[in-house]
Amino acid sequence: MNLFCGFFAIVKAAHEEYMAAAWLIVLAGIFDALDGAMARLTNSSSEFGVELDSLADVVSFGAAPSFILYTAFFSQWNTAGVMLASLPALCGALRLARFNVQLVGFDKDYFRGLPIPSAALVLISYLVFYHIPDTSIIPADVKPGLIAAITAGVSLLMVSTIRYDSLPKPTVSGIRKHPLKFASIIIAVVAAIATRGTAIFPLMALYLIYGLVRHIIYLIRNRNDEDDDDTMEQDEPSPFDV
């Protein structure tokens, strides 16, 4: 269902039905969030499921958003538009490949790099609720540069080493362990429904900023600790280190 929604979103975008395409990406995200819970409930977790999940994700949250961005705006920029619009698909594929090889033993409370479904939600929610509408609060002359910056920035965050919170398991123990996360998720869902989707982009922007600020604070603290120990500063790991 995740993969079908991604394919259907591409079909809708080809007919310039961008709002429908955007909601299909959101629906794909819901199916993507449910598959892990279903696998645990049915005791059917497997490497096959992991690979199928990633293949579906690279279409629904990589290729589909890239195609939607290209047809909705970047097509008018010719070759530069093709390059910019391709970034979510390219970086999303790299991010998923890295995730799969790190799957054993990775920190389940965090992802390394922005998760590809989150990246897709940022891009698509900005496009349909803030870039396309003429009634948007964003000035028309700012929109081209802003959508280019958001597309490039979100794509780079996917292949970065910045930690982003993962969704906690919907169990009693998971709720007790991460009460603030669950409360934040519930508030975000209610806000998105109440605003008919317009709150998705601001909420996702807060998620991005929170991860960035936490990473900066971590780097500052780590730098201070190294200075206190009078040791040489280590190079930052490559985004592609596995």
Query: pLDDT tens for residues 9-67?
Result: 999 999 999 999 999 999 999 999 888 777 777 777 778 888 899 999 999 999 999 99
pLDDT of 237 above 70: no
Distance (Å, whole) CA 206 – CA 65: 20
Question: Could you give the C-alpha distances from 115 to 79, 111, 137, 142, 218, in angstroms and in order?
Answer: 27, 7, 28, 27, 20
pLDDT of 170 above 80: no
Closest by Cα among 71, 68, 73 to 25: 68
Closest by Cα among 207, 208, 165, 173 to 188: 207
Could you tell me the two tokens for 3? 């993969």
pLDDT of 71 above 70: yes
**86-92 average pLDDT score:** 97
CB-CB contact of 92 with 54 (8 Å): no
pTM, full prediction: 0.86
**Domains, the chain, ranges and CATH?**
2-228 (1.20.120.1760)
End-to-end CA gap in the chain: 30
Q: Apex CA 171: angle with CA 166 and CA 177, to 5°?
A: 60
What's residue 232's pLDDT? 42
| Backbone dihedral angles phi then psi of residue 111, each to the nearest 5 degrees | -105, 145
What's residue 49's pLDDT? 82
What's residue 150's pLDDT? 97
